[in-house]
Structure 1
Amino acid sequence: MTYVGIDVSKATFVVAYSSAKGSETKTFKNTVKGIREFIQTISPKENHCVLEATGNYSMLLVYLLSKAGFVVSMENPLKIKNFARVMLSVVKTDEIDARLIALYGERMQPAPFKLRNDSILLLKQKRTVLRQLKKQLTANTNLEGSLKVLPFIDSKSKKVLEKTIKFLQKQIKEMEEELTSLAEIEYKKQMDLLTSIKGIGATLAAALIIATGGFTYFDNAKQLTRYLGLSPTYQQSGTSVNVKGHINRNGDAHLRSQLYIGAMASLRCNTECKACFERLRSNGKPGKVAIIAVANKLIRQAFAVVTQEKPYVDGYKSAKP
């Protein structure tokens, strides 16, 4: 299997058919036509394509390659960046980056990327638009508040802001309803299982389904916790390095915030989460650390009910010794 390195940008992508210095590279347009031209130059049986995850710019390429039967790996850019440091790379161009990605594939042999199904892609688009609408609403609300402290307010500006805020609130409400509705239609069973956990509502359940592809991207709850950036870190070396641990903060910061809020809500009604929080607090752990631990417990509960296909029973005690 020959690894093909691909460096993707908005308008084009550069392909390195080999990692060897001075080997052939070729540039294609990042369009359907350009991707099809690239596909004609490689073979599904002989080539494994590797590229960095660059958000929406790489999704069309990954989608068409996967549909054409190619093995594709889409890696975290941080992995490629750290690999370049290990290889003592000091020059950065699109061609060199493509060869470096091909070399990364040869040395690291990354796992194939699991293509998201169409419903997950639609849910992700709705979630992205919803988040941007909320950011715009926050910005306009803050602007309206800042104008109110002025000696006098321009009536036209005030009217425009009020209309904009009402429009954004309406759009946000509609998008939230559509997102939840689509999640309940496509993943009704998982939504029912997840919302059976006290502390996880429809919004958080839908967010977990989107992030995990319907709980198909991870083998266990520990992998999901690491992906969401809630894994504790610790640095210790000899007698001079002993850094206090914190969460790794990788992955989706917005979903991490939702889980934090869900963890706080679960303290009122989820027996296991409440017991976990009280135990950690009695052992002297800070409140935020205990909440993070509760968020991890919520993830484990979510993973358990979905994989076992059984609703959550609050306060359940196993019959096993």
Structure 2
Amino acid sequence: MYYVGIDVSKRSVDVCLLTDGIKGKRKTKSLPNGLNSAQALAQWLTVQKRDPSQAHIILEATGIYHEHLAYGLHQAGILVSVINPHRVREFAKGMGIFTKTDRVDAYVLASYGCLKQPESWTPPAQEIRKLKALLQHRDSLLSDKQRTGNRLDTLKSTAAPKEVVESLDSIELNLKEELARIERLIAEHIDKHPGLKNDLKLLKSIDGVGEQIGWNMLTIIRGNNFKRAEQVAAYLGVIPVECRSGTSVRGRAKLSKIGPSAIRAKLYMGAITALRHNSHVKAHYERLLLKGKAKMLAVGAAMRKLVHLCYGVLHTQQPYDKNYGMVAG
């Protein structure tokens, strides 16, 4: 087994091959990013007299730009790991590497693979991939609609030409109609797949989880190889990070806020709702307040509790029991 780190950008992938561990020689190459990037990488490794089937490839999760390469490598039977970028940056700091270039990042990724031995990446099922794409498109449309609405509100309070206002009115209407159509497609897609339909029903059995959180948690939990609820919480950035050093530094703990911020925003609203309607979330929140914890830290804990409940119902395939573990007063 040998290790290859790859820094992925929109148009290219920078490759670093470790020939003999992190202290050995490195070979580097820049290849185009696209449909054939996995094939091009395998050919280059063969030229280097390396068997592609013995490679362990390490990539960062870079939005969508890594997908052609990751899916191509998996289909070719080549071991690939997709790593959280924050973990890689912390690893680089630990190695004393603060420079950030494509070649350096590729070397750091190869070293991470060599020393950490990360788990292999398995692509999510096709129905999850489609659901994720539909949800991302929905969020983009919603953002466009809100931005257009804000422009309209501003212009209507000024002496703007009516043609401009009418144009924005038309755009807002079209966005509203398209948003409704995409939401119907999301519902129909879930309805066509019994597994997704059942999982969404389980998620929505949790007080505080509606369609928005249900849809997104479904893609996150079913689209990743999480083995514990804590891993989901860490991925979403709702775990506490303490600031302590020696006897003098005692900073307040705060959420790590690593991962998708848009989903954290949805979880925040869900937690606020759950504080009124979910006995487990409310009890956890109030216990922390009684211990003197800051209100926002307690809200963060409520978000984390909601994530744990979502993982729990999908893991056990049992609906949420609002009375589980609650002591009658």
- Fold in common (TM above 0.5): yes
Greater Cα shift, 236-245 or 263-272: 263-272
Stretches of structure 1 that go unaligned for 5 or more consecutive residues are none
1:195 corresponds to which residue?
204
- Pick from 33, 36, 40 the counterpart of residue 39 of structure 2: 36
1:127 corresponds to which residue?
135
Greater Cα shift, 129-138 or 160-169: 129-138
Q: Please show how residues 4-43 of structure 1 align to structure 2 within 5 Å.
A: 4-18=4-18, 23-42=26-45, 43=51
Q: Please show how residues 25-174 of structure 1 align to structure 2 within 5 Å.
A: 25-42=28-45, 43-89=51-97, 92-150=100-158, 152-174=159-181
Letter of the aligned partner of 1:194 in structure 2? L
Decide whether the 8 Å contact of 1:180 with 1:203 is kept in 2.
Answer: no
C-alpha distance in 2 between matches for 1:93 and 1:308: 44
C-alpha distance in 1 between matches for 2:63 and 2:166: 37
Decide whether the 8 Å contact of 2:80 with 2:120 is kept in 1.
Answer: yes
State the 1:291 CA deviation.
2.6
What number of residue pairs does the alignment pair up? Answer: 317
Stretches of structure 2 that go unaligned for 5 or more consecutive residues are 46-50
SS of the equivalent of 2:299 reads helix
Decide whether the 8 Å contact of 1:20 with 1:99 is kept in 2.
Answer: no
Q: TM-score, normalised by structure 2?
A: 0.87
State the 1:39 CA deviation.
2.2
2:231 corresponds to which residue?
223
Greater Cα shift, 32-41 or 304-313: 32-41
- The reply to whether residue 252 of structure 1 matches residue 271 of structure 2 is no
Decide whether the 8 Å contact of 1:44 with 1:69 is kept in 2.
Answer: no
* Percentage identity across paired residues of the two chains: 31
Greater Cα shift, 31-40 or 276-285: 276-285
SS of the equivalent of 2:186 reads helix
Q: Please show how residues 172-191 of structure 1 align to structure 2 within 5 Å.
A: 172-186=179-193, 187-191=196-200
- The reply to whether residue 235 of structure 1 matches residue 246 of structure 2 is no
- Pick from 299, 306, 325 the counterpart of residue 298 of structure 1: 306
Task: Summarize the Cα distance change of 1:107–1:198 in structure 2 as closer, same or farther, 3 Å threshold.
Answer: same
State the 1:31 CA deviation.
2.0
1:3 corresponds to which residue?
3
- The reply to whether residue 210 of structure 1 matches residue 219 of structure 2 is yes
2:279 corresponds to which residue?
271
C-alpha distance in 1 between matches for 2:24 and 2:213: 48
C-alpha distance in 2 between matches for 1:204 and 1:93: 37
Letter of the aligned partner of 2:299 in structure 1? I
1:11-38 alpha-carbon deviations (Å, 9 max, x no partner): 1212222256763322222122343232
Letter of the aligned partner of 2:237 in structure 1? G
SS of the equivalent of 1:95 reads helix
C-alpha distance in 2 between matches for 1:50 and 1:94: 14
Decide whether the 8 Å contact of 2:54 with 2:78 is kept in 1.
Answer: no
2:48 corresponds to which residue?
none
Letter of the aligned partner of 2:17 in structure 1? Y
State the 1:188 CA deviation.
1.4
C-alpha distance in 2 between matches for 1:99 and 1:268: 49
C-alpha distance in 1 between matches for 2:316 and 2:188: 24
Decide whether the 8 Å contact of 1:44 with 1:71 is kept in 2.
Answer: no
Letter of the aligned partner of 1:136 in structure 2? D
Greater Cα shift, 44-53 or 177-186: 177-186
Task: Summarize the Cα distance change of 1:240–1:175 in structure 2 as closer, same or farther, 3 Å threshold.
Answer: same
State the 1:158 CA deviation.
0.5
Task: Summarize the Cα distance change of 1:104–1:293 in structure 2 as closer, same or farther, 3 Å threshold.
Answer: closer
SS of the equivalent of 1:197 reads coil
Task: Summarize the Cα distance change of 1:45–1:89 in structure 2 as closer, same or farther, 3 Å threshold.
Answer: same
Q: TM-score, normalised by structure 1?
A: 0.89
